[in-house]
Structure 1
């Protein structure tokens, strides 16, 4: 399981976005696998749709923090998983089932393909995204040596330039100063993307999640990188079960023409993960950078998430396919 299937993440998401009339929880989360819910909406404002989805995801109605590594079962595989999942799907009335961010090659995906074929349901892949991670169980020096020269420069070697500009310090602002962390994250995102990163309901969600995840053994790492007395970069990381998850990041643009602050800060955080005896992975999750896929350059492993849709009726299959 991952950070996103914890009771902390799932309950915080549902408490923030799930309490609306069109949503109904049909399978609760258990701290190991994602919950399921039904949402109701009208296609093009006319046709009523019942959509079955993972708690933490919303294919059409909401924009919320991404919930990755979704799965249906903690330990079933093969035919037992197929039977259990088919029973779950047949026990609910739905028009479409949209399952976000399942691992490519997983037993869950294989089971869905099998069920769709035997039940004559449409099965459609609607999104494919790459994710990236760094294995941190070996020596950090060996990891650095494995990188290309330019990647090593941005991630590590240019620390000397940063340190020449003033005292450099890493600090975790959880739990005593999380407001300053999110204020800095929003400021950096406004500069780069012209909008806040976490505000309103999104901020409420993250505050709820962080306050709850410690009960399940998680460790929030709201990391700031300070040069002199000035925060120049932030990383929203959380440690859980041997993995540091990098959820968000922000940094000051145009700080210095020779420095990529986001990469440098990642370098410090990855080195910290190598030093932790109870950590074997730094997961940068899905997504790419604004200008380049920096994750691919520094990762030691990559994986894929697939988002799939199942549709039962012939009528709705035709409507969806016409829409593209």
Structure 2
């Protein structure tokens, strides 16, 4: 009943409307699996990393699009000359190079066709030549769904390479009740210090519409705090493309905190469907001994999400802070992002098997040799 077709790069760039319609009928992430995010990623890193597009579209008998697997292939050679082919999902470049991070990775499937579509995609990939498939920062449901279908269709072994954690705050309830769940010190930083900031320090928050200037300010704060910019030149280009492409169901929410006329904090959020994603933040670290600007700024945006009946989650995403996993203090739901490798190559299967019998000191040598 279903047909799988590999689409070309020109088709990818012209697929915005079809992609958006399918995404609206799916449970895939409305930001990270959207056309603006993934096509912008591909435009920046596709050629630079010498990647081969493998965008698989699934159609029903009436030629209606019911699923997309936004994949690409990369090739590498081991030190003794073996050539291997690794498949990835567009948005992450695991072991290839630094790019922006794409989370909640999955296929995009019409809810009515999900099981059949994943089966059809697995059958198609069974007929393709490849050695490994990487689902980086995937949803746990994708690993349980498509991952198990892949294992059923062909002889692959599954290896969980890492697992990251993020925090998503449920904003469907009461803001006051959420504040009451916070620890005393966190509540002070998130909310109670507003009186000092807005009073004696003359602070206020406002929206920011100049994307170019905003990214520059964000990078400047990160250089001061971390010794390097938040976004390198490629990442800046990606975010410029993304912000220019956001559609009707997505909206950038850039905000700044000012003390007098000076910008002291910036927050980069995007609203997609019923969720706010906190992509990045930057602030003046040594601003005031009683105020944590980053936490205070997040407090304003989280309260906005609670007040907006269209929003049911404020997502802090994966990653930790400079010194601690500060996101856990916001009393949200823990979200796990496994990175899973499906190995098809007999050579790589043997390499993985041999690692279990080697002294620990030799395991890293095997990893480097096979680029595991």
TM-score, L = length of structure 1: 0.91
- Residue 121 (structure 1) shift: 1.5
Q: Is 1:69 aligned to residue 101 of structure 2?
A: no
Paired with 2:101 and 2:68, the residues of 1 have a C-alpha distance of 16
Q: Is 1:305 aligned to residue 337 of structure 2?
A: yes
Secondary structure, counterpart of 1:67 in structure 2: coil
Match in the other structure for 1:284:
316
Question: Where do 1:119-134 residues align within 5 Å?
Answer: 119-134=154-169
Contact 2:55–2:68 (CA under 8 A) maintained in structure 1? no
Task: Summarize the Cα distance change of 1:173–1:14 in structure 2 as closer, same or farther, 3 Å threshold.
Answer: same
- Residue 111 (structure 1) shift: 3.6
Q: 1:168 aligns with which of 192, 197, 203?
A: 203
Query: How many residue pairs get matched?
Result: 320
Match in the other structure for 2:283:
251
Q: 2:216 aligns with which of 164, 170, 183?
A: 183
Deviation larger for 236-245 or 115-124: 115-124
**Consecutive unaligned residues in structure 2, runs of 5 or more:** 1-27, 58-64, 356-365
- Residue 282 (structure 1) shift: 0.5
Contact 1:136–1:274 (CA under 8 A) maintained in structure 2? yes
- Residue 20 (structure 1) shift: 4.6
Paired with 1:21 and 1:298, the residues of 2 have a C-alpha distance of 37
- Residue 31 (structure 1) shift: 11
Question: Where do 1:36-75 residues align within 5 Å?
Answer: 36-44=71-79, 46-74=81-109, 75=111
Higher relative contact order at CA 8 Å, sep ≥6: structure 1 or structure 2? 1
- Which structure has the larger Rg? 2
Task: Summarize the Cα distance change of 1:111–1:32 in structure 2 as closer, same or farther, 3 Å threshold.
Answer: closer
**Consecutive unaligned residues in structure 1, runs of 5 or more:** none
Kindly report structure 1 stretches of 4+ aligned residues shifted beyond 6 Å: 29-32
Paired with 1:38 and 1:179, the residues of 2 have a C-alpha distance of 32
Contact 1:5–1:33 (CA under 8 A) maintained in structure 2? no
Question: Where do 1:79-90 residues align within 5 Å?
Answer: 80=116, 83-90=119-126
Match in the other structure for 2:347:
315
- Residue 21 (structure 1) shift: 7.4
**Deviations 1:126-182 (CA, angstroms, capped at 9, x unpaired):** 0101111111112211111111111111111111222234322222222xx122211
Structure 1 vs Structure 2 CA RMSD: 2.3
- Residue 18 (structure 1) shift: 0.8
